[in-house]
Amino acid sequence: MRFGKNIFYYRSYNVAIYVGLAAKGGGLLSEPILAVKGLKTTFYTDDGQVPAVDGVDFSVRAGEILGIVGESGCGKSVTSLSIMRLVSAPGKIVDGRIVFNGEDITHASEKRMRQIRGDEMAMIFQEPMTSLNPVLTIGQQLVEAIRIHRKTSKREAEAQAAEWLKLVGLPRPKDLLKSYPHQLSGGMRQRVMIAMAMVCGPKVLIADEPTTALDVTIQKQILNLMKKLNRETGTAIILITHDLGVVAEMCDRVIVMYAGKVVEEGPVKAIFKNPAHPYTKGLLASVPDLRNRKKRLYSIPGNVPKPGEITNGCPFHPRCEWAMDRCRGSLPEWAALGAGHRARCFLHDMKDGIAPGKGESHGGTAVNR
């Protein structure tokens, strides 16, 4: 692919997208570009309060890909909507802070947020059709996205739009600009969404299940594209997915969510090679691996809880093989496991720590040791 060259050519448009970013990106590598601290987002419904996000902490550095994994309803999307300040009634951010590029945006005005959204911070969703306007052409939408945030002539914006379509691997960009969303396939629409999110050179791109609705061969194309954009532009990506394979392939760091809380965080290798939280261990052991066919998969007993369903202790305790009395009594604090790896589990408080292998039957061995 002539990707690098395209980017170079793109600079001649004087859009100062990459030039500035690359310079900043290098210097700020240790500083987080986005930090989320103690975030709590609650929905006030007729049936009561739903603590969808219940004390979430994490940060993202420039240029990195952070994965957020977890099962349905654990709060991944609400976390990302909270960051973008797109949570609407009956939902509300009730606690915590969101610091973007040094600025506390937890209570920033809607006007300020509109400047940030689609410019410095962008988001793509699982179903691109819901975020593309069906009555406008791809070209009109891309041009608008560019011109909202940058002072460019219409012609220049059109040229940039075409260039972006080429960058995301779409054929015949000139024709595509004139077509409507429904005329494109799912994979093509997702590429358009990526182009749309990237046109202003965001510092952070939040991708919420960007490939879940796509076939695997198309997913592969899209993931490769996202990785390439990340490496070449320095845009940090928060990749939300329930697919552990996608995480392993794409991410530098991972946070694992369960019932509105982060239960483990670490570099991708640590999470996959040395999972520390029983939930992470169980999840990894329950997915089939193409290279290594097991006779039987491990399975975590019980059901995925709804937010707020488990009010006492560790949210995982009803399904956990190692649960002890104290797990039912109070919420475990973070246990540091070295090199950015930590887990919220009492087993790591104990002298010998936790070491049972994933998927084995070992009811309570760690406890008795």
Shortest distance, position 290 Cβ to another protein, whole Å:
5
Residue owning tokens 């945006």? 105
Residue 265, classed as helix, strand or coil, is strand
Binding to ligand ATP (CB under 6 A) within 30-89 occurs at 43, 45, 50, 52, 70, 72-78
243 binds, among Mg ion, ligand SF4, another protein, none (CB under 5 to 8 A by kind): another protein
Q: From the list ligand SF4, ligand ATP, another protein, none, pick the one residue 320 interacts with, judged by a Cβ distance below 5 to 8 Å according to partner type.
A: ligand SF4
Chain residues binding another protein by CB under 8 A are 71-72, 185, 187-188, 215-221, 223-224, 242-249, 268-269, 272-273, 282-284, 286-291, 293-294, 296-301, 303-304
Taking CB under 6 A as the criterion, the residue among 11, 92, 112, 306 binding ligand ATP is 306
Q: Which is nearer to ligand ATP, 74 or 124 (CB)?
A: 74
Count the neighbouring beta carbons within 10 Å of the beta carbon of residue 159: 15
Burial of 286 (0-12, 13-18, 19+ CB in 10 A): middle
**Three-class SS state of 79:** helix
Does 305 bind ligand ATP (CB under 6 A)? Our answer is no
Structure tokens at 316: 């995982």
Are 264 and 248 in contact, with CB atoms under 8 Å apart? no
Cα–Cα distances (Å) from 61 to 278, 309, 348, in that order, read: 27, 33, 27
Give the residue carrying structure tokens 């349905």: 72
| Interaction of residue 332 with ligand SF4, rule CB under 6 A | yes
Separation between Cα atoms, residue 368 and residue 226, nearest integer Å? 46
Residue with tokens 């190692």: 322
Instruction: Supply the minimum distance, in Å, between the C-beta of residue 197 and ligand SF4.
Output: 36
Nearer to another protein, 27 or 48 (CB): 48
**Coil vs helix vs strand at 177:** helix
Nearest by Cα to 230 from 100, 67, 117, 65: 65
Residue 74, helix vs strand vs coil: coil
Closest approach of ligand SF4 to the CB of residue 322, in Å: 4
For residue 72, the partner it binds in another protein, ligand SF4, Mg ion, none, with Cβ less than 5 to 8 A by kind, is: another protein
Alpha helix positions (H), the chain: 3-11, 18-27, 76-83, 110-116, 128-131, 138-149, 154-167, 173-177, 186-198, 216-233, 244-250, 268-273, 278-285, 325-329, 365-368
Least CB distance from residue 273 to another protein, whole Å? Answer: 8
> Between residues 77 and 101, which has the closer beta carbon with respect to ligand ATP?
77
- Name the minimum Å distance from CB 259 to ligand ATP: 9
Binds ligand SF4 (CB under 6 A): choice among 195, 240, 285, 314: 314
**Binding mask 261-300 vs ligand SF4 (x if CB under 6 A, - otherwise)?**
----------------xx----------------------
Do residues 223 and 246 touch, judged by C-beta distance below 8 A? yes
* Residue closest to 80 by CA, chosen among 226, 217, 257: 257
**261 near ligand ATP (CB under 6 A):** no
- Nearer to ligand ATP by Cβ, of 74 and 121: the residue is 74
39 or 65: CB nearest ligand ATP = 39
- Summarize as ranges the residues that interact with ligand ATP (CB under 6 A): 43, 45, 50, 52, 70, 72-78, 90-91, 242, 306-307
- Residues forming the site for ligand SF4 (CB under 6 A): 277-278, 314, 316-317, 320, 322-324, 327, 332, 345-347
